Amino acid sequence: MKFLDEAKVYIRSGDGGNGCVSFRREKFIEFGGPNGGDGGKGGDVIAEAVEGLNTLIDYRYQQHFKAKNGRAGMGKDRHGANGGDMVMKVPVGTQIYEEDGETLLADLTDVGQRAVLARGGNGGFGNAHFKTSTNRAPRHANPGQPGEEMTIRLRLKLIADAGIVGLPNAGKSTFLAAVSAAKPKIADYPFTTLHPQLGVVGIDGREFVLADIPGLIEGAHEGAGLGDRFLGHIERCRVLLHLVDGTSEHAGEAYKTVRDELAAYGQGLLDKPEIVALNKADAMTAEEINQQSTRLKRAAKRAPLVVSAATGAGVPEVLRALVKAIEGARPAAAGQPEQAAWQP
């Protein structure tokens, strides 16, 4: 399936139906009075977050979304039918912006969450509505109100518990493939990964979602390489896994390059708890591991875990560290209520 995380679409809610002007006309009934019904309400355009989607690719093929108009009111006090709503199904994690791309209209972070993006116009009142003691034969009705139209932007920010960052070729995709059922492309050239991938990881009876994103290089915030736009997908991660290729020239420098790009991107990425791991241990001598670990420790100000995504050595330790950090980073308000101590 293709991946797309930005889309621009045009939406229009339904117009309200017109009110009706009509009079009761029956044999032997004089002055039957007004009986024009009200128009129906126009349909809304609604966005709904659904399970099982992780791309906005559908919105490349369909870019116009219109709700149905309300039907006009009719004689004999018949109310016009309401127009049907248009429901746009989007992946969880989709943010909806106005056309400017800056004004946030909705942020759909939970399955089933809905937002009304454009409200349908109200139906007009029929002439029966305008009957008063002094005007018992009103000859006017209201027109339905028009719907709203606008262009909106959808932006998907995947929701994962942990995100893997690192230079190209650090072994990020290899790691994701080793710990989950995800099947990312893996190869020894930079920028193998062109879009984010998610995988579900299980360890010690816990599960969490891990995201693999394209590698970062120096200057990514200025557009170098694939740029830094995919960092949007780890904005909502609780924890980062920073993988450093041990066979690279200088693990400390590699680490700093990525941290600088995270800093340039902002959005609190630097403040997230970070697990640092030196990868490709299988391809290094003990001496090299020592040297690169020392460099990495100096740069990260803490000893890295040593791992081989290829052989699996050290992987459970990394996963346990991630689980611990994820649970530690859970906001207190969202903590499990069953753990709260109850004092009688």
Closest approach of ligand GTP to the CB of residue 192, in Å: 4
For ligand GTP, the nearest residue by Cβ is 215
Q: Can residue 122 be called a binding residue for Mg ion (CB under 5 A)?
A: no
Instruction: Report the alpha-carbon distance of residue 54 to residue 196 in Å, rounded.
Output: 10
Question: Which of these ranges, 47-55, 166-174, 274-282, 306-314, lies near Mg ion under the rule CB under 5 A?
Answer: 166-174
Name residues contacting Mg ion, limited to 178-207 (CB under 5 A): 192-193
Instruction: Concatenate the DSSP letters of all residues of 282-314 into one string.
Output: GGS-HHHHHHHHHHHHHHHTSPPEE--TTT-TT
Strand order in the sheet with 149-156: 64-66, 6-12, 149-156, 94-98, 104-108
Beta bridge partners of 101: none
Return the bridge partners of 90, or none.
49
As measured in angstroms, the least distance from the Cβ of 282 to ligand GTP is 5
CA–CA distance, 15 with 67 (Å, rounded to integer): 9
**Nearest approach, Cβ of residue 312 and ligand GTP (Å):** 9
Interface residues with ligand GTP (CB under 6 A)? 166, 168-174, 186-188, 190-193, 214-215, 279-280, 282-283, 308-310
CA–CA distance, 157 with 55 (Å, rounded to integer): 10
Bridge partners, 207 (sequence order): 202
Cβ-based nearer residue to Mg ion, 123 or 196: 196
Rounded distance, CA 56 to CA 276, Å? 32
CA 14 to CA 85: how far, in whole Å?
A: 8
Residue 149 CB neighbour total at 10 angstroms: 12
How remote is the C-alpha of 186 from its chain's centroid? 26
Structure tokens at 43: 């349909």
What is residue 90's three-state secondary structure? strand
> Cβ of residue 224: shortest distance to ligand GTP, in angstroms?
13
Select the binding partner of residue 308 from Mg ion, ligand GTP, none (C-beta < 5 to 8 A, by kind): ligand GTP
Judged by CB under 5 A, which of 22, 82, 173, 180 binds Mg ion? 173
CB of 6 to Mg ion, least distance (A): 21
Q: Of these partners, ligand GTP, Mg ion, none, which one is at the site of residue 188 (CB under 5 to 8 Å by kind)? A: ligand GTP
Residue 197 binding partner per list ligand GTP, Mg ion, none, with a CB distance cut-off of 5 to 8 Å that depends on partner kind: none
- Residue 49 or 277: which CB sits closer to Mg ion? 277
Of the pair 43, 214, the CB lying nearest ligand GTP is at: 214
Work out how close the CB of 262 gets to Mg ion at its nearest, in angstroms, rounded to a whole number. 17
In the bound complex, what is the minimum distance in angstroms from residue 169's beta carbon to ligand GTP?
4
- Note the residues at the interface with Mg ion (CB under 5 A): 172-173, 192-193
